Amino acid sequence: MTIRNDSIANSLRVATAVAWVAAQLSGAHAQTVVRTTPLSPPPRGGEPVGIWSCGAFLQVENHDSGTPTLSVYDQSGAEVQRVAVQIPGARLVTTLDNHFARSADGYLAVTGWAYGLGDRAANFLAVISPDGANQTAVRTDPYAPKALTFASDGSIWTAGLEKNADGIYKEGIFKEPGADYFVIRRFDRSGKLLGSAVPRGLLPEPAPLEGSRLIASKDRVGWFSPMARRYTEFSLDGKQLGSYSHNVSIYDVAGIALCDDGGVWLSVKADPSGKTGETILMSLDREHGTWSGGNRRPGVYLLGCTGTTLVTTSTWDQLQWMATH
């Protein structure tokens, strides 16, 4: 095994800008919960919520420890795998939601940062075989992946920043000195770099990678950046297909999903005070570059999409399957 480095991504809170949400309520779509599936056993510890990835729900336990453990649940809600993430020589390993994913054939990929005997963290990308027996970890320094997903062709996509000696932390967010590098990077399962996209210089915002998310469907990969106020899509070979603006802050997002029919869905909070906990599912109209919202509903965290059905949760111990039409 080898190692690489990452910087901490703040867990996203569920909140939204009411003026924007209210302005988007025209052209609403109906979303109906078609079934609910309890998770057995329930996720342990109430840690980062987890994600839906290639037909499975992934959740991490002890996400900031010597051996974070990934639990994998199938579509019936049964836990089918538990795998400890092992980074050689590390005394502390941290990984968060959107830092792990599963491929269609059962491989797991994990990014995060690991501490050895000293205090310096090393960013890494780890790939775990379907049976959990083989783990390969490569060090990605100075590149620090902040989000990760598997594309349908099995390649591993990351979105990250490149740290250097001039970078500083301010108000909990890493501020970069303006160096240019590629933000999106694709790797194979051995950790070999396959390609890159989106020069940092095209993103003038101070911290466009904070809170960003990668999502995938059968024919494309999407990158959602709350800080850059953009959602960008790529073909599987890394060519940019389109880029769309939004008005959601880093704390507004309660999950995002890309479905195989091309639908892009975003869950945001309907009540800025947080008293009701209600959320609205927004969908992207690519033709007009706008987002429209559906009905208010009790808090829904959007985990992902399977085919054309959204996978959500509101109680963390069960999955909800939601039709989009």
- Domain contains 1: no
The two tokens of residue 192 are 């070999």
How buried is residue 190: exposed, middle or buried, by Cβ count under 10 Å (0-12/13-18/19+)?
exposed
Query: Per the structure, how many domains does the chain have?
Result: 1
pLDDT at 137: 95
Whether 4 maps to a domain, the answer reads: no
Residues 6 or more apart whose CB falls under 8 angstroms from that of 93 comprise 64, 65, 66, 67, 68, 85, 87, 112, 113, 114, 115
Per-run averaged pLDDT (10 residues), the chain, 325 residues: 36 31 36 84 82 95 93 96 93 93 96 85 94 94 94 97 60 57 95 94 85 96 94 96 90 91 91 74 92 80 93 90 83
Amino acid at 101: A
Number of H helices, E strands in the chain: 1, 28
**Paired tokens of 178:** 């303006």
Q: Tell me if 7 is assigned to some domain.
A: no
Whole-Å CA distances, 159 to 199, 209, 277, 302: 11, 7, 30, 20
> What does the alpha-carbon distance between residue 234 and residue 242 come to, in Å, rounded to a whole number?
7
pLDDT at 10: 34
pLDDT of residue 24: 35
**Per-residue confidence (pLDDT) for residue 25, from 0 to 100:** 32
Contacts (Cβ under 8 Å, ≥6 apart) of 287? none
**pLDDT at res. 4:** 37
Residue 10 inside a domain? The answer is: no
pLDDT at residue 49 in the model: 82
- Per the structure, the complete domain to which residue 302 belongs is given by 18-323
Residue 84: C-alpha distances to residues 71, 81, 100, 197, 276 (Å): 9, 10, 13, 32, 37
- Examine residue 3 and state whether it is found in any structural domain, yes or no: no
Domain CATH number, residue 161:
2.120.10.30
In a domain, 272, yes or no: yes
Report pLDDT for 130. 95
- pTM of the predicted protein model: 0.85
Q: Is the residue at 12 inside a domain?
A: no
Token representation of residue 185:
């990077």
Whether 29 maps to a domain, the answer reads yes
Q: Which residues on neighbouring strands pair with residue 304, listed in sequence order?
A: 311
